[in-house]
Amino acid sequence: MVDEVQLPPSWDGSVVLDIGGEIGALLLRTPPTMNGVEIDLIPEDEGLLHTHSAVRERRLLGGVAYAAVYPSLKAGRYTVAGSGQTVTIVGGQVTETEYHDW
């Protein structure tokens, strides 16, 4: 078993997104209690691989937020594992949404 290191908080402007054409990104805001949790995204297109990102503390000029960032996703619909909610990624854009655990 490999122990994963918890990354320190990120600062405003420290995340690089690779978007354009058919590639977009997702910013998934979460409650602070999810800090360190890895959240899978399951693509509707079965030809694409699942991806995941860890929730991290994000220190911003206006305060602190908690979010998982998915910097490079092919356009399409994805299910957020653990919540059942779906998100649509649009190429060349950043989709922002709140995590819901209905």
CATH number of the domain to which 60 belongs: 2.60.40.3540
Domain annotation covers residue 11: no
Calpha distance 89→58 (Å, rounded) = 22
C-alpha distances (whole Å) from 23 to each of 36, 40, 73, 96 are 26, 18, 5, 15
pLDDT at 58: 83
pTM over 0.85: no
pLDDT in tens, 40-77: 999 999 888 889 999 998 887 788 889 999 999 999 99
Pairing of strands 38-43, 76-80: antiparallel
Domain annotation covers residue 5: no
Task: Provide the domain count of the chain.
Answer: 1
Domain annotation covers residue 7: no
Domain annotation covers residue 9: no
Q: Cα 48 to the chain's mean position, in Å?
A: 16
Residues spanned by the domain of 36: 16-98
Structure tokens at 8: 């320190």
Domain annotation covers residue 28: yes
